[in-house]
Structure 1
Amino acid sequence: MEWKVYLSGEIHTDWRQQLIQGCQANNLPVKFTSAVTDHEASDSAGDLLGAEQSNFWRDHKSAKVNNIRTKTLIEQCDIAVVRFGNKYKQWNAAFDAGYCAALGKPYITLHDEDIIHPLKEVDASAMAWTQTPEQVIEMLKYVVNSEF
């Protein structure tokens, strides 16, 4: 079985690449998907529908266009990894975690200890909280390769 893993959240570090390389190095049968990680492309996704004078409506249209991808990939995944960084607030990641919870999709959170409190509800619905990409890789090794 090839596992479909959706990667959500923070886009300013290389955590996605670390997970991909770690799973490749361990020959895990995993296919990764993600939201658009180019910030400008994501912000302007709705511009193809016409220019807006208000930032609210520009963001609104872009969010809807982006959600076509996000909702589809979350619905198709076997497990999601939701990364929260310290530098920016990832409200979209919190929404993705909530969507996973509503769908009954297992997800793993990935964040530092100093933001446990603001993420307590998100972590409470997660299957696990991790602090490093290496911990996620170890979990995937166990879940994907364990035999009875």
Structure 2
Amino acid sequence: MTLSVYLSGEIHTDWREQITAGAEGLDVVFSGPVTDHAASDDCGVAILGAEDTKFWHDHKGAMVNAIRTRKGIADADVVVVRFGEQYKQWNAAFDAGYAAALGKSLIVLQRPEHDHALKEVDAAALAVARDPVQVVEILRYVLTGALPG
């Protein structure tokens, strides 16, 4: 069985690389958003033309990025959403809600200090992991039935 896994959320640390490296040898195909922050912010105006206000600049970028995000989440078997420490990731919360609405298997990756703020997101998830290694172990277990160890 091949799992398609969409890696959503925080883009400022190497958590995606940790998961993909840890899952080497497993039958997993990973996808995710554009993680080049500047490209993600500016894609709308770079493609569709400049805007006079930051609101419309961001709006165009969000719409263009949503094409990739919607497709990636819709095609995924499992969606992993990472909430980082540095920024409020409203887009990650939206992605988690979208995945839950589509009935996708959702794994949330967050630190304990976010538990209260993310309690509704966590309630929709099938697992709340604290580090990328736990995500890899979940994927390994789902694919092979093997426990860590």
Q: Do both share a fold (TM > 0.5)?
A: yes
> How far 1:118 sits from its partner (Å)?
0.3
Counterpart of 1:29?
27
User: For 1:85 and 1:144, how far apart are their aligned partners in 2?
Assistant: 27
Instruction: With the length of structure 1 as denominator, give the TM-score of the two structures.
Output: 0.96
| Counterpart residue type for residue 13 of structure 1 | T
> How far 1:146 sits from its partner (Å)?
2.3
Counterpart of 2:133?
134
Matched, 1:20 2:20: yes
User: For 1:46 and 1:137, how far apart are their aligned partners in 2?
Assistant: 34
Deviation per residue, 1:80-129 (Å, 9 max, x gap): 10000111111110000000111000110001001100000000000000
Instruction: With the length of structure 2 as denominator, give the TM-score of the two structures.
Output: 0.95
User: For 1:58 and 1:127, how far apart are their aligned partners in 2?
Assistant: 35
Structure 1 gap segments, 5+ residues each = none
Structure 2 gap segments, 5+ residues each = none
Matched, 1:40 2:4: no
User: For 1:127 and 1:44, how far apart are their aligned partners in 2?
Assistant: 34
2:98 is paired with a residue of what secondary structure?
helix
Matched, 1:108 2:118: no
Alignment RMSD (CA, Å): 0.9
Equivalent residue runs for 1:4-15 within 5 Å: 4-15=4-15
Residues paired across the two proteins, number: 145
> How far 1:145 sits from its partner (Å)?
1.2
2:4 is paired with a residue of what secondary structure?
strand
Equivalent residue runs for 1:66-145 within 5 Å: 66-145=65-144
User: For 1:135 and 1:114, how far apart are their aligned partners in 2?
Assistant: 18
| Counterpart residue type for residue 128 of structure 1 | A
Q: In percent, how many aligned pairs have the same letter?
A: 57
Stretches of 4+ moved more than 2 A in 1?
none
| Counterpart residue type for residue 3 of structure 2 | W
